[in-house]
Amino acid sequence: MRYAHLILFAVTLFFVGCGDGAKPKLASDASGKNGTSETKAEAKQETFSGMWLMIASRMDAPSEVHLAVVKFGEDKNGELVGKVLDSSEEVFPDATLTKTTVSDDSIQLEFQVDTDGQLNLHGLLDGNTIYGNTSTNRGLQPIRLVRTDQEQVEGPVGVPTEGAEAFEAAMRSEDSTAQLKQFAKKFNTSPTAMSAYIVLLAKSKQNELDEAAVSQIIADFVKTGSRWGARMKRNVRLDSAAILVQQKYLPNLAVKTLLPLEKESGDDKDEEFTSRLKYTSAMARIISTDKETRETGAVALAELHEENLLDHRLRVALANHHDDSGDKNKALQLFAELAILPEGERYFAALSRDSESDPETAEQATERLWKSTKGKADGLDEFHDQIYESVIHRMFKSSSAAPPANPAGKRVSLCELFTGAACGPCVAADMATVGLEATYPSSSLIVLRYHQHIPLPDPLANADAVTRLAYYEQSSTPTVILNGRQVQGIGGFFDYSQLMYEELSKKVDRVVGSDSKISIQLSADAKDGTLSLSAKVDGTKDLPQSARLKLVLAEGVIRFNASNGIRRHEMVVRYMPGGPDGIAPIEGRLSYESSLELADIKQELVDYLETTAKQYEQPFALPPQLRQQMPNGPFPVRPLELKPLHLIVFVQDDASQEVLQAAIIPVSGKLEYPETAAEPVTPPSLEKDNPNSPIKAPVPGSTKPTEDGPGKTAPGKPGKGDSAAKPKPGPKLIPPGTDKP
């Protein structure tokens, strides 16, 4: 359930809703006439009659907000009905009560808020107060209704909760444990009492409380939570165990605390609660001091891992368990996943054995176990590739079956991702497009990645890639273009990868296999340092004069430890033969044929990086906070192997920017490059950048970086900010008789 998003910003309270982009659950019953609710009433319904002020409280801070004034009374049939007399325009706008269900001392209320929000409240009557709760994406939050004579919501939006000053004083006291216990008992009717128990449990390891003391805190917490309804009681029990698991403290007590919930969870219709219970139970068991309990936890955790391949917490717990128990093969695979997948090392460092002063990395653990099981270091790179491909195919499961190869007369679609090696919010888009490549054959969909200097200098960027982003009048990453049309709302960190993949898959499904009269024949062969390319387009009789033939040389796989956590970069655009503007039709025909020196291609990339590095080394090229993230200079590593290469050719109408047809072939023959200038080998920092997706960052001469909300792509103007095209350091080789348009 959720209500209007402005409650979060107006009060910093909470956002009631389905997390991570999920659709909200809709109320099942419509409201009655005149905004009153249809009611099922049983005993003691008269005790609910009157006017009530509805108050929502935070669990993580002693503050609350007045949401609405609600009035209950009997209708002509003697049944209890409710109506919202007034609601807060800032946080609970246009609220109506759509359903009321009363049974003895319990009541359930369903509200419609604004145009697309719902709030469901479960409460218990206790004198002049109804203590209740509502489900939010931060867990259950306490809500209470108190009898009132006022008919309107008055006063400030946010006010301190009862006992707020005493709670803060207890937190500051020298013996905070004793003071918080006293506070919780004295103010046991205040929601802040539950906040006190959360703090006590969170500090139980730090304060070295024994099992008996912690067990008593949990018992008191559960008793206090039960005042706020059955849902709150069971959530308090679950939260208590989760806090212990997070600290890796008293795991056997955590398991014991969860047992009553596990016995009753079979009929639980709350999927979110059931999911949290399974996760917390498995994590508690796998760190138990009892061997048999640990094994049952490992089995449960392995099942959860396969269901949630984006959750590195599960990987870390399983990897450490198998390593400790001596199951080297299982540990090896999990450590390899952590080493090769984005953000894996960061999670491993944060969640692993915190007692070690110089902890092992996931990569080091992989190397240790590989040598132990294989007896040698050879073959580890190939093993990483196998693990990566296996995880990708298991991770991204499309809602539709993978399409067959395109028959003749069908369009091959082109997906272009503009990304950056230091762009944290680009990770989900990068991984989602890898999922697309695993789902759709290249005869149906081709994916290209153009690296940008956003937010920091990127050694995989080049002049053609920068110009290509400017072509679409964009200046931020990630930007995703499908057949020349921008796809909005793509971005986020690693745990958003599946969601972004699903969104992109829906878009791709609509365009894959559409009819096209255009066909493209390609050849690409390397021999003796020369690359011979040929592209011929048929079916171009009706092409507009604005159509252009565009060629790309993309490197199939680049192994580079980017600071956003991505270690394996696929189909990265390195060079555009014929130039990023493409080839114009000659007498209505589009074709390209030329021989390029591989040495010239590589040297152009070397020169570009050298020139760009000098620009970024200027004193005011980057803001200080960004410059601090590159202590070893703009390009401490410059991956320039340029193997393997693929030739991608597409026809694009520059008037509409629509991609009309595309084709791809691998470059055959032997790719040989002469030695170039010495390349630095100091690895870059693996620190993760903080801005949300998408992000803009300055290039020399641009303005300061800006940050946009998650999933939004900020449009840019050509020639401004990061979209400003830089001149290429060398001329392009154009087929004889062909001029650039």
* CATH classification of the domain holding 48: 2.40.128.120
Alpha helices per DSSP H over 533-689: 598-616, 624-627
Mean pLDDT over 707-720 rounds to 32
Tally the domains of the chain: 3
What are the contacts of 269-275 at 24+ separation with CB within 8 A? 270/135, 270/231, 272/135, 273/234, 273/235, 273/238
Mean pLDDT over 23-28 rounds to 31
Give per-residue burial for 52-80: e unless 16+ CB within 10 Å, then b: bbbbbbbbebbbbbbbbbbbbeeeeeeeb
What is the pLDDT at residue 607? 96
Backbone angles phi, psi at 501, to 5 degrees: -60, -45
Q: Which of 152-156, 180-184, 282-286, 431-435 has the lowest mean pLDDT?
A: 152-156
For residue 102, the SS3 value is: strand
Mean pLDDT over 304-315 rounds to 95
Tell whether the model's pLDDT for residue 274 goes beyond 60. Answer: yes
Same domain, 603 and 708: yes
Answer whether residue 53 is part of any domain.
yes
Beta bridge partners of 481: 416, 486
Higher pLDDT, 396 or 534: 534
In sequence order, the 6+-apart residues with CB closer than 8 A to the CB of 295 are: none
Determine contact, residues 338/362, Cβ cutoff 8 Å: yes
What is the pLDDT at residue 161? 86
Sheet containing 519-527: which strands, arranged edge to edge?
591-597, 530-538, 519-527, 668-669
Helix (H) or strand (E) holding 704: none
DSSP label at residue 546? T
Tell whether the model's pLDDT for residue 691 goes beyond 80. Answer: no
What are the contacts of 662-666 at 24+ separation with CB within 8 A? 662/411, 662/412, 662/413, 662/414, 662/446, 662/520, 663/412, 663/446, 663/520, 663/521, 663/522, 664/412, 664/442, 664/446, 664/522, 665/522, 665/523, 665/524, 666/524, 666/556
How many CB atoms sit inside 10 A of residue 137's CB? 15
What is the pLDDT at residue 734? 28
Helix (H) or strand (E) holding 103: strand 96-103
Same domain, 119 and 174: no
Mean pLDDT over 629-639 rounds to 89
Determine contact, residues 505/398, Cβ cutoff 8 Å: yes
Mean pLDDT over 205-233 rounds to 96
What is the pLDDT at residue 689? 37
Tell whether the model's pLDDT for residue 342 goes beyond 70. Answer: yes
Q: Which of 323-327, 619-623, 693-697 has the lowest mean pLDDT?
A: 693-697
Sheet containing 645-653: which strands, arranged edge to edge?
485-487, 479-482, 413-419, 445-451, 568-575, 547-559, 645-653, 659-666
Answer whether residue 459 is part of any domain.
yes
pLDDT in tens, 390-408: 998 888 865 555 555 566 7
Mean pLDDT over 125-145 rounds to 89
Tell whether the model's pLDDT for residue 739 goes beyond 50. Answer: no
Mean pLDDT over 617-639 rounds to 87
What is the pLDDT at residue 248? 94
Of the candidates 373, 413, 639, the residue with the CA atom closest to the CA atom of residue 516: 413
What is the pLDDT at residue 467? 98
Of all residues in the chain, the percent with pLDDT exceeding 90 is 67
Q: How confident is the model at residue 543 (pLDDT cuts 50, 70, 90)?
A: confident
38-40 and 96-103 beta bridge pairing: parallel
Residue type, 335: F
Tell whether the model's pLDDT for residue 21 goes beyond 80. Answer: no
Same domain, 25 and 138: yes
Same domain, 434 and 383: no
Tell whether the model's pLDDT for residue 82 goes beyond 60. Answer: yes
Q: Which of 43-52, 242-251, 282-291, 653-662 has the lowest mean pLDDT?
A: 43-52
Assign residue 238 the CATH number of its domain.
1.25.40
Tell whether the model's pLDDT for residue 2 goes beyond 70. Answer: no
Residue finishing a domain among 125, 142, 160: 160
What is the pLDDT at residue 695? 43
pLDDT in tens, 455-506: 999 999 999 999 999 999 999 999 999 999 999 999 999 999 999 999 999 9
How many CB atoms sit inside 10 A of residue 215's CB? 16
Distances (CA, A) of 228 to 58, 317, 516: 14, 34, 63
Alpha helices per DSSP H over 396-484: 427-439, 463-471
Same domain, 626 and 506: yes
Same domain, 142 and 173: no
Mean pLDDT over 550-563 rounds to 96
Burial tier of 382 (Cβ tally within 10 Å: 0-12, 13-18, 19+): exposed
pTM exceeds 0.85: no
Answer whether residue 398 is part of any domain.
no
Same domain, 492 and 368: no
Same domain, 284 and 156: no
Choose from 90-94, 113-117, 207-211 the range with maximum mean pLDDT. Answer: 207-211
Residue finishing a domain among 160, 191, 208: 160
Residue finishing a domain among 330, 361, 393: 393
Q: How confident is the model at residue 132 (pLDDT cuts 50, 70, 90)?
A: very high
What is the pLDDT at residue 729? 35
What is the pLDDT at residue 608? 96
What is the pLDDT at residue 219? 98
Answer whether residue 535 is part of any domain.
yes
Same domain, 230 and 150: no
Mean pLDDT over 648-677 rounds to 92
What is the pLDDT at residue 19? 29
What is the pLDDT at residue 124? 94
Same domain, 90 and 235: no
Residue type, 218: I
Answer whether residue 730 is part of any domain.
no
What is the pLDDT at residue 403? 54
Answer whether residue 403 is part of any domain.
no
Mean pLDDT of the chain: 83
Answer whether residue 370 is part of any domain.
yes
Q: How confident is the model at residue 158 (pLDDT cuts 50, 70, 90)?
A: confident
How many CB atoms sit inside 10 A of residue 309's CB? 19
Q: How confident is the model at residue 513 (pLDDT cuts 50, 70, 90)?
A: confident
Answer whether residue 402 is part of any domain.
no
Same domain, 130 and 228: no
Tell whether the model's pLDDT for residue 530 goes beyond 60. Answer: yes
In 225-337, DSSP assigns E strands to: none
Domain that holds residue 133: 6-160
What is the pLDDT at residue 268? 59
Same domain, 52 and 186: no
Mean pLDDT over 575-598 rounds to 95
Determine contact, residues 177/76, Cβ cutoff 8 Å: no
Of all residues in the chain, the percent with pLDDT exceeding 70 is 81
